[in-house]
Structure 1
Amino acid sequence: MNKVSVFGGGAWGRALAFALAEKNEVRIISRRDIGPLLEPLNQSLVALNCAPIMQVSHKEALDAQYFVMAIATSALREWLAVAHLPQEIKILCASKGIESGSGAFVSDIMEERIAHKSIAYLCGPSFASEVVHSLPCALVIHSRNLELSREFGTLMPHFIKTYVSPDVVGGEVAGAYKNVIAIAGGICDGLAFGMNAKASLLARGLVEMSRFGEHFGAKMETFLGLSGAGDLFLTSNSTMSRNYRVGLGLAQGKAINEILKELGEVAEGVITAKAITEIGQRENIYTPIAREINLIINGKNVRESSKALMA
């Protein structure tokens, strides 16, 4: 049985640990004690005759064949600097977003420390709350090393179907940008603009994110598949999406700090909206939805922003 260590004890990290525990011995690392949160997952695993997930120290976690990264993009660079990961490593990165300030993609940050042939990136429509109930989903494992993508695919449970893709940039742009469009989706529904407006928003959002990605060499087919359209439609239409809930709060006139405090979790789209806006200005890429979401987050009236988009 393979040993897999998951870095990150948030909802997505725990969900991936649960999924991988069907076929593997899984350990999870978190800065806080997540024992009570693991208990119901381990009860389900025992019922399935699978070994329970163990929370271990960082040192113990390094004794594994495979690693999964599920920590916030905003903390990724700092974490990698002190992680002391082994030279020979196989790592699946499930972090999404664009670094604020630098505008660095996740792969830029990861590949400063780890060879690209050793890294794969997990993308696609996947709410953590459904994964921990073993509900079926399909995901894409992006990597410049397709053999590594297929290898990680073999570790996945029966209820997750995986595809592989060499388009790393497309996968991570889609995974980051959809969070911004999800905030817009929450605003649209919060203002009761109707289904016509929502369909228009998501269609134009898909065009906007693909235009942004293609500027950096991404492939259009990525945005039409699970990593793009699939994840976009999921996160823009459900209160299970943290970014969608941010949009609902903004539509109610709440300040972003109040919304994030109520949320109690990271909403990557808030930081990503700013990063995309800055990159768009620097690279002369047309990003009207991301720009307006960034303005709303910083205090612009939501109805004024909707008028600007219609104009």
Structure 2
Amino acid sequence: MRLLITILVFLLMGWLGGGTWFWVCKVKQLCNKGGSTHTSISAPAAPVPEVEADEAEPARLSPVSVPEPVGNVSPLRIRYGEEVVMAFEDSWHFGKSSAQAYMPPAARRALDSLASLLKADPTKAIELTGLYAESEQNRSESTNLGLARADFIARQLVQRGIDEKRIIKSFELLPEAGLLNEQDTLLNGLNIRLIDAIAESTTDAPVPIPARDLYFSFNNTVLNMNPELRAYITRSIQYLNQHPDKKLRITGHTDNIGEPEVNLIIGRGRAEQVKQYFVEFGLSPDQIITDSKGASQPKASNDTREGRAQNRRVEIKIE
């Protein structure tokens, strides 16, 4: 009888294991089909030796070819500017609504190579842009699933010895049709871009990030994100992470249409909206000061439509 029970237990365990493998690897396609035989296109054969910061030379980054996709596997691309400078035949596999990913060997090697490059070249930093679809459910503690995915990969780099101040996290909302495959697995889930790090400077040195204005439509506090604004936020956060004594001042303004008290509220709402973007991208709220001037400090004449459009703005300045 005991022998029969033992056999049944082993059969049940085998059935459960086989069913799990079939679901994960065949249905969800979260397994690495090539096992450990994948090789990266541009990863170094051996880790890049670490050197002192003053002895390091900027890495020579050249364009590389990208492997052809195989089935539902999406090649991993790492860009510097517009060029792909590192490429691997497999990427991390995020499931739908998941902030954690299965890491095939090629993805782990990609992070190893990236960490080695960053250690060898202090003139570079990294921008992680987490992708997500509106239909996904955010069960993480992050503001959205894109940031949660960026944070997951950021932790992998920190574990490999990269200073978190050199990692900029952002997010991008994409249509589901371009993000998920038929198994509800993300084709990539996150984009990586090497960027030039802002050089360390003394407290008295001029701030290298210029002040700028952001404009809003009438009676509106919603700001549309675009690549140019995303790049400005990234550079500002880089600098502020290096200089915790500095503050980001965000001041909201309006045109003169409406009651002064209402305009003050609208101006503050605009400033808070911009602040939220910086916080979501990883800047500490303690380094942000928000204010509203309402219609009291116009940039142009309120007598024309064009002038009023220039006055509906938010001023951003590091001080």
**Shared fold by TM > 0.5?**
no
Higher strand share: 2
Instruction: Identify the structure with the greater helix proportion.
Output: 1
Considering only CA atoms, is the larger Rg found in Structure 1 or Structure 2? 2
**TM-score, normalization by structure 2:** 0.25
